[in-house]
Structure 1
C-alpha cells in the first residue's frame, strides 16, 4: 500500500474530515489568453488513503511510543480519509458523478473560501495537534496512567506573560491540584476578570507559585482570561509521537488512541485482525462523528478490513453503500471500540450499525 506521503497530495482538515486534495488529473482551467475560468465550483469526494496506525510510513512509526515497556502489536488499526478532487471542468465533474461513486458537493463545503492557503495550513496543523493531544490523554485515562499539564505557549501581553513560561508544568490553581488543561480552564472561568489567582508550576525541578490578575477574554469581556496554551502529557516516563505528517485532523483521533493503548498494554487489542475505523476522540474517551464516512467505509473494505469502527452518530451514512462481508461496529466510546474488537476476534456478537 502506498503511503500518503508518497502520493504527493496536499491534505486539509475541514471540520472533522481529513481530506486529500488531488485536483483534476487533466484540466484546462481558463480560456487561453483570458482570465475566464472554465472550472466549476464543485468538488468530488471519494475514498482516500487508509494507513495502519500500528505500522510505518517511509520507515518511521506512525505512532511512536517510548516507555519502560512497549508491547509488540499485530494486525491492523487503520485510520481512513476522504480524497477530494478540485479544479474540475463541467465535463470532468459530470464524469465523476456519472462513472464513479464519488459525491459531488459545493466546493465551499470542503474548502473554506474565506481562508488563505497559509490560514488553511495553520488550521490543519492546529486540528492535528489538538487531535494528537486528545488521543494521548484519552489513552492515558483509559489505562489509568497519570498526566501532567505542559505550557506550550504564553500569549504576549496576557496576564500570564512574564510569570508563566513555555514548558512550565502547571501543578495547581489556588492550591488545588490539576492534571488536565480543562481543569485549569474551569477554575479560571469560575472567576471574574480582575480577580487574582495563584498558579503553581514546576520549572527546572522547582515548584513556583505566582499571583496573576486575570484579564478579560478577547471573545467575551465578561469571561476571565489567563493567556496560556496547554497540552496534557503522560506524567510517567512515556512519550508519544505521531508521524503522519501529510494527513491530519480530528477524525483520526480514535484510531490514534487505540494504537497508543495497544502499544502500552499486553496482548493484541484487535485480536490480530484487520480493523479500520474513524471518529474524533475527547480526553474522556468519547467518540464523536465525522464527515464523509461512506467513502471511508468503502476505502476500508477495498483495503481488506474485516471490521470497521464507526461513530454511533454516523451509523446511518456508514451503512449506505455496499461493504461486502466487513462488519460495521457502532461505537460511542473507547470502551465500545475495544469491546467490539474483542467480541469480533472471539466470534461473539458485535453491536453493529443497522441500515436505515
Structure 2
C-alpha cells in the first residue's frame, strides 16, 4: 500500500476513533438556548396572558414580550462532541450542569423552586404595576410556606394571614420570627390568623377582612437543629390584597425573570395611552414590590430569541447590560433599565420616536 494512502487511511481511522470517543465520553455540562418569547399583551395557547376583571381595560397594540431560556433536562448527559458544538455556536451556551441543577437538590426540587419563584414574581409584578398607577395595594404578613413534618403542619397553612403572635400585632415577616424565638423549645405560641380560604372569600365578596375573620391557633415549638432556638416550622412572607383580579396565565414557565414585562403589560392594559405606540418591545428582569428591576441569567439567549421574533428594542436589567452588549444581535437596541419608572420612561421615548435619548447598554 502506498505511503500516502496508508497515511490517509490511518488519519481517517483516527478521526473516526476520536469522533466515536467524543460521542461516548460524557461531560458534566448542560446547554442553554433561546426559548419561547410571548407577548404579555396577547394570547398564549388560546388564552389571554393577562386577564383583568372588574376594572376597565383598554385596547393595546405592539408587543411587550417576555423572553425565556430553553435548557437541557436534569437527566440529560452531554457528550464531548455536543459540548464542543455548543461552545462554537452563537445562539447557545454550554454551562456546568451544577449551575442549572445543584447537586444538593433533586430535579423535582429545582422545578418546584422555579414554580414558586414564578408565582412570587407574578405577585410582585402586580404590586409594582398598581403602585406605578397610584393604586393602593394593602400588604400583610402571611404564612409563606409550612415545613413538612414541622410543628405547624396541619395547623397553619400557606396563605394564612398572620395578624398577631401571642397577642402582639405583626407588620413584617421578621416580627414573627422575633416573637417565636423569644420562647424556649417546647413552649406554645398563639397565632392570630385569618385562614387563607376565608381571606379569599372576603376578597371575592369585595369586603375587607376584620376581627370577625380571625382564628386563634396554638402551635408548640420545636428545637432548631442548628442553634437550638425555638421554631414552629413556617416561613413568613408578605402577601397583598388586590382591589381587583389580575390573572396571569402562562404554563411551562418558571423563575422570576418575567416580572418586569408582566408589570408593563398590566399597566398598558389599565391605561388609556398605548405604551408601545405599536412598536415591538421585548425584555426581561425580575421586579420587586417597589419596582426595582433585578438581573437574570441567560441574557444572550433572550436577546437572540427576541430579535428572531422581530423585536427592535430590548429592556435590559442594568446589571446585565455589559454582558448583553458584548454579543448584541444586529438590529436590536438594548435599553438599560433599573426600575419600573425607567422602563416607563423608555417606552415613552420609543413611542415619541425619541430613541436617540434612550439609555443604551454598553460593553464594559
| Counterpart check, 1:355 vs 2:363 | yes
Alignment correspondent of 2:239: 232
Distance in 2 (CA, whole Å) between partners of 1:128 and 1:329 is 24
Q: Secondary structure at the match of 2:82?
A: helix
Contact between 1:188 and 1:224, CA under 8 Å: does it hold in 2? no
Alignment correspondent of 1:20: none
After superposition, the Cα gap between the structure-2 partners of 1:209 and 1:322, relative to the gap in structure 1 and judged at 3 Å, is closer
| Counterpart check, 1:243 vs 2:249 | yes
Q: Which stretch of structure 1 is more off in the superposition, 199-208 or 337-346?
A: 199-208
Residue in structure 2 matching 1:199, options 192, 203, 206: 192
Q: Secondary structure at the match of 1:328?
A: strand
Distance in 2 (CA, whole Å) between partners of 1:92 and 1:186 is 48
Alignment correspondent of 1:121: 111
Q: TM-score, normalised by structure 1?
A: 0.75
Q: Secondary structure at the match of 2:130?
A: helix
Residue segments in structure 2 that go unaligned for 5+ positions in a row:
1-19, 203-211
Alignment correspondent of 1:61: 48
| Counterpart check, 1:108 vs 2:98 | yes
Alignment correspondent of 2:66: 79
Distance in 1 (CA, whole Å) between partners of 2:182 and 2:66 is 43
Q: TM-score, normalised by structure 2?
A: 0.74
Residue in structure 2 matching 1:51, options 34, 38, 55: 38
Measured after TM superposition, the shift of residue 254 of structure 1 is 1.2
Distance in 2 (CA, whole Å) between partners of 1:328 and 1:99 is 22
After superposition, the Cα gap between the structure-2 partners of 1:337 and 1:214, relative to the gap in structure 1 and judged at 3 Å, is farther
Give the greater-gyration-radius structure (CA). Answer: 2
After superposition, the Cα gap between the structure-2 partners of 1:276 and 1:92, relative to the gap in structure 1 and judged at 3 Å, is same
Contact between 1:76 and 1:276, CA under 8 Å: does it hold in 2? yes
After superposition, the Cα gap between the structure-2 partners of 1:211 and 1:266, relative to the gap in structure 1 and judged at 3 Å, is same
Residue in structure 2 matching 1:91, options 81, 85, 91: 81
After superposition, the Cα gap between the structure-2 partners of 1:210 and 1:76, relative to the gap in structure 1 and judged at 3 Å, is same
Q: Which has the higher helix share?
A: 2
- Count of residue pairs the alignment pairs up: 316
After superposition, the Cα gap between the structure-2 partners of 1:100 and 1:198, relative to the gap in structure 1 and judged at 3 Å, is closer
After superposition, the Cα gap between the structure-2 partners of 1:225 and 1:233, relative to the gap in structure 1 and judged at 3 Å, is same
Alignment correspondent of 1:10: none
Distance in 2 (CA, whole Å) between partners of 1:284 and 1:217 is 33
Contact between 2:315 and 2:337, CA under 8 Å: does it hold in 1? yes
Contact between 1:96 and 1:102, CA under 8 Å: does it hold in 2? yes
After superposition, the Cα gap between the structure-2 partners of 1:53 and 1:217, relative to the gap in structure 1 and judged at 3 Å, is farther
Measured after TM superposition, the shift of residue 154 of structure 1 is 5.2
Q: Which has the higher strand share?
A: 1
Q: Secondary structure at the match of 1:319?
A: helix
Contact between 1:276 and 1:300, CA under 8 Å: does it hold in 2? yes
1:135-159 CA-partner distances (Å, limit 9, x unpaired)? 2222233233223546566557767
1:73-116 CA-partner distances (Å, limit 9, x unpaired)? 22111111222345333223222333544222222222223433
Measured after TM superposition, the shift of residue 351 of structure 1 is 1.2
Q: Secondary structure at the match of 2:192?
A: strand
Measured after TM superposition, the shift of residue 122 of structure 1 is 1.7
Residue segments in structure 1 that go unaligned for 5+ positions in a row:
1-30
Contact between 1:308 and 1:326, CA under 8 Å: does it hold in 2? yes
Q: Secondary structure at the match of 2:323?
A: helix
| Counterpart check, 1:186 vs 2:174 | yes
Alignment correspondent of 2:262: 256
1:165-210 CA-partner distances (Å, limit 9, x unpaired)? 66644456767585xxxx2x03224444329676364746624264
Distance in 2 (CA, whole Å) between partners of 1:167 and 1:127 is 15
After superposition, the Cα gap between the structure-2 partners of 1:100 and 1:353, relative to the gap in structure 1 and judged at 3 Å, is closer
Alignment correspondent of 1:306: 312
Distance in 2 (CA, whole Å) between partners of 1:318 and 1:223 is 46
